[in-house]
Amino acid sequence: MRPDRLRLLAALALASFLILPLLPLAIWSFAHGWRFPDLLPQVWSLKAWSYALGPRSGVLQSLGVTTGIALATTILAALVGIPAGRALGQYRFRGKGLVTLLLLAPAFLPGIAVVFGLHGIFLRLGLVGTVPGVILAHLIPVLPYMVLVMAAVFSRLDPDFEAQARCLGATAWQTFRNVTLPAILPGLMTAALFAFLVSWSQYLLTLAIGGGRVQTLPLLLFGFSSAGRNDITGAIALLYILPGLLVILLTARQITGRGAALAIGLRP
């Protein structure tokens, strides 16, 4: 076989592999009963969607909770992560390796390694079963990611511009507002979009710290899935991957170019 033919075949195999697991979810969401051995549902219907988007399923409420938690986590992570990213991106100092390690560790350790202990602490602080508790827990995987991406952004920022602004009489705030922020904004936006997705995808931390009282979409999804409601599960699953799709459409060109740090955050 000619090399370009082989290449096309490999590309086709890769594309099919990537899309296949999402297909049954999409089909189920429009199926009205879909029994073995039917290849496709005999009756199509919008029932699952109208139930999922209706008031009784709790999906819309859950969508609101999940979005709110992810937004709050992202904003907190940005507020704390921008300065830390600046320190790591623009300075060399003794102990930098150690600091980077501490910031990387939560990306390497699965949530289950810390969540039992965290639950004990949050229990004492009255944070178990609360939205603020879940937001704080989500910071564990989200913050390292934000710091690492911002460090990469700051390392490409030329500090001379800021020095010149200061020499010309700008205050520290004016320098940040008019010089630094515009320069880091594109990187910050991408980091924020992906930080949002990291929080959006959390399962275990929400389950343990939310204590069943904070019902985010993945918890609801698993509930319907284990109850055997494949049609509603399919509809919720499609809703749940929508933000990721939007983020990719928004950032498509940056991802391959921006280096490894971006992708690393999407572990948990």
As given in the structure block, the two tokens for residue 229 are 């409601």
Residue 43 or 245 having the CB closest to another protein: 245
Residue 168, interface with another protein (CB under 8 A)? no
Distance (Å, rounded) from C-alpha 214 to C-alpha 169? 50
Backbone φ, ψ for residue 84 (5° rounding): -65, -40
Residue window 93-132: x/- pattern of binding to another protein, with contact defined by CB under 8 A: xxxxxxxxxxxxxxxxxxxxxxxxxx-xx-----------
Cβ atoms of 120 and 58 closer than 8 Å: no
Q: State the nearest-atom distance from the C-beta of 163 to another protein, in Å.
A: 4
What lies within 8 Å, CB to CB, of 93 at 6+ separation is: none
Residue 55 or 160 having the CB closest to another protein: 160
Residue window 59-88: x/- pattern of binding to another protein, with contact defined by CB under 8 A: --------------------xxx-xx-xx-
Residue 45 or 225 having the CB closest to another protein: 225
Residue 183, interface with another protein (CB under 8 A)? no
Judged by CB under 8 A, the stretch of 33-41, 56-64, 67-75, 182-190 that binds another protein is: 33-41
> In the set 1, 2, 20, 173, which binds another protein (CB under 8 A)?
20
Number of helices (H) and strands (E) in the chain: give both, helices first: 14, 0
Cβ atoms of 89 and 154 closer than 8 Å: yes
As given in the structure block, the two tokens for residue 252 are 């498509």
Distance (Å, rounded) from C-alpha 248 to C-alpha 145? 17
| Of residues 36-55, those binding another protein (CB under 8 A) | 36-39
3-state helix, strand, coil in the chain (%, to 5): 75, 0, 25
Residue 173, interface with another protein (CB under 8 A)? no
Residue 233, interface with another protein (CB under 8 A)? yes
Cβ atoms of 262 and 56 closer than 8 Å: no
Judged by CB under 8 A, the stretch of 17-25, 46-54, 56-64, 184-192 that binds another protein is: 17-25
Residue 133, interface with another protein (CB under 8 A)? no
